[in-house]
Amino acid sequence: MTLIDRVNGLLRRVPVWAVYVVCMAGAPWLFWQGISGGLGPEPVKGLERELGELALKFLVAGLAITPLRRLVGLNLMKFRRAVGLITFYYVCCHLLVWAVLDLQVLGQLWSEIVKRPYIAVGMAAFVLMVPLAVTSNNASVRRLGAKWRTLHRLVYPAAILGGVHYLMLAKGFRLEPLVYLAIIVALLLIRLPVRRWIRVGA
């Protein structure tokens, strides 16, 4: 038995509900950090940033599940739906902190989206993720059939928009947003069929 086989055997014993409980605990912990002074002199900005980065990390993790299975045999497929919903959870938390605690005046929401391109890009990513979250259940899979897979490919442009949103937020040159965007692009390129790469190179 290989190491990957052993890891996959251990993963099969991990209940999905435990993944939800552990991974979603980050938001209340960060909120507590904010009110207790653990997020610096601007706790709202710190909370907003940390939640956004968590959303991006889980988005990258979700995109990595299929390549990890294909390339190294690590099977995390049973957690893919949970990772997707946890991503949306952190996106919603990030959006709520910005709208309610940072912006505070909800009447200015539309004007902020129009005025600031990075917000427009982030909102576009959020809008693309809404139907994915709504249809992440067995009933939707049965009802939509083959269309379900097509619909859930919206995660690809949503991921790119999320990476661009983070890059646009960066003040000055920062390597981290570029790394996230590069990883997202790489994880999407890996999904292209090998034959398509051969045709392009021919």
CA–CA dist 85, 59 (Å, integer): 10
Q: Which two tokens stand for residue 13?
A: 């014993």
Q: Which two tokens stand for residue 171?
A: 């003040």
CA distances (Å), origin 191, targets 23, 24, 67, 70, 156: 26, 28, 7, 10, 11
CA distances (Å), origin 78, targets 34, 65, 69: 33, 10, 12
CA distances (Å), origin 24, targets 51, 64, 87, 166: 11, 19, 9, 21
User: What are the extents of the domains in the chain?
Assistant: 3-201
Task: Please report which helix (H) or strand (E) contains residue 62, including its range.
Answer: helix 43-72
| pLDDT, tens digit, 9 for 90 and up, residues 120-168 | 999 999 999 999 999 999 999 999 999 999 999 999 999 999 999 999 9
| pLDDT, tens digit, 9 for 90 and up, residues 6-58 | 999 999 999 999 999 999 999 999 999 999 988 888 999 999 999 999 999 99
| pLDDT, tens digit, 9 for 90 and up, residues 54-78 | 999 999 999 999 999 999 999 999 9
pLDDT for residue 195: 45
Q: What is the mean pLDDT of residues 89-107?
A: 90
Q: Confirm if 112 and 47 have CB atoms less than 8 A apart.
A: no
